[in-house]
Amino acid sequence: MLNRLKNLSSEFLNILKESSSLADSLGFKVYLVGGVVRDLILEKNVSDLDIVVEGDAIVFADKLSEVFGEKLQRHHSFGTATVNFNEHKIDFATARTETYSHHGVLPKVSSASIVEDLFRRDFTINAMAISLNKDDYGKLIDLYDGLVDLKKKLIRILHEKSFLDDPTRILRAIRFEQRFNFKFEDKTFKLMKTALNIEALRFVGHHRIRDEIFLILKEINPYKYIKRINDLAGFYFINSQIELKQKDLEIFLRIDHSLTYYDGKLKNHKVLQLYLIYLAGILCNLSLEKVKKITQDLGLKKRDSDIIYSIRKGLTSIKKLANYKTPHIIYKTLNFYSRESLLFFYAYYGKEVKKNIKFYLNELADIKLKTNGKDLKRLGFKPLTAYSKIFKKLLYMKIDKRFKTKEEELNYAQRILDRLAEELNP
């Protein structure tokens, strides 16, 4: 495995070298584990590292972060710690074993050896480790034939009860199957079906479901992942009323395409929370009340639930956009919405609505007035409270008439002022 380690960035290699010396001086055994090992073997990019310590991960991470002068976040109850090295995150965990009292609940954990730590993992391809201690630096520990399964492109669980112990592994299995174009090993697939038949995902808490679903929706082009979940299980574990027919699934493909437009053509491009657009697609056939309840149950951040809610709410009103021609009416209709919502509407509706959303994003969204409060005061506007209305009027006028200069804006402001004076003293 030594050759594979050499593919890591020099920054990572430096961290591993220091880890190696530190492990020996503390008398700990230290390993690189899980997805990192899988991705190294698959020659994929590695952006974060997972390190398991036979000993005390917090003590280890503490000393290592001292060497690099980085800050450490400690999670004493889990025996884990995280260090951020520039843009990279390194998680340190004390080797542990897990016992499940009921299906779907979080397990009881106790410290253990690397052998037991690997056994608690989800799939053979994620249950390999690379030793970092000096005497066997770079040695692959592959107790469950993860390497063979990687070569055969198979997703295989480690023991019969795996999906029942932690049903989120069903979603994880689908994520890796789709991401790597792998297949489920036969018995694994049978056991997954058994777990699905008893709707095991119902036993899982909403927040864990949210975390796994978000990981899926953050994959590149999640359409095929969503389709696979829908075909195998449906989305009852988010809400029993969600029912996606083939026709409903097309929205996800259309979102994928809209993103290509957004990424490729749009001026003033902003980074979007794409997973919210896809989640809105999963929820968009439900009532507003249901959508609100689900976003609360899932524990979404306020901004995120507002976006989902406004997408669902806008679905009926945005349709009218197809008939609008006046620029400021188009602006007024769309300005209230987040970019995520606009992308959703762009994907959801036909040509005319699309055209107006494009027009808004490319031509209108960034129009700003050159006139400010001081200018209005100088012209003689009062009281101050009316300013926001006047600014709005000026902006809409600027959008329709395309004022270019500040002088044009001020001339129009003067006309508003004259009209107001006439109204007050007819």
Cα separation, 144 vs 158, in Å, equals 7
Contact between 222 and ligand ATP by CB under 6 A: the answer reads: no
Q: Which residue in 15, 16, 31, 35 binds ligand ATP (CB under 6 A)? A: 35
Contact 123, 47 (CB under 8 A): no
Stretch in the footprint of ligand ATP (CB under 6 A) among 19-27, 162-170, 279-287, 378-386: 162-170
Measured CA distances, 285 to 165, 243, 279 (Å): 32, 8, 12
Contact between 126 and ligand ATP by CB under 6 A: the answer reads: yes
Q: For ligand ATP, which is the closer residue by CB, 210 or 398?
A: 210
CB of 325 to ligand ATP, least distance (A): 47
Q: For ligand ATP, which is the closer residue by CB, 23 or 32?
A: 32
CB of 34 to ligand ATP, least distance (A): 3
Number of amino acids touching ligand ATP (CB under 6 A): 11
Helix (H) or strand (E) segment spanning residue 186: helix 186-197
Cα separation, 400 vs 80, in Å, equals 58
CB of 264 to ligand ATP, least distance (A): 26
Helix (H) or strand (E) segment spanning residue 30: strand 29-33
Contact between 96 and ligand ATP by CB under 6 A: the answer reads: no
Contacts for 8 with CB less than 8 Å, ≥ 6 apart: 16, 40, 46
Contacts for 290 with CB less than 8 Å, ≥ 6 apart: 239, 241, 283
Q: For ligand ATP, which is the closer residue by CB, 95 or 342?
A: 95
Contact between 149 and ligand ATP by CB under 6 A: the answer reads: no
Contact between 50 and ligand ATP by CB under 6 A: the answer reads: yes
Q: For ligand ATP, which is the closer residue by CB, 33 or 294?
A: 33
Q: Give the residue among 137, 123, 136 at the shortest CA–CA distance from 177.
A: 123
Stretch in the footprint of ligand ATP (CB under 6 A) among 71-79, 118-126, 274-282, 370-378: 118-126
Contact between 94 and ligand ATP by CB under 6 A: the answer reads: no
**Residues at the interface with ligand ATP (CB under 6 A):** 34-35, 50, 121-122, 126-127, 166, 168-169, 172
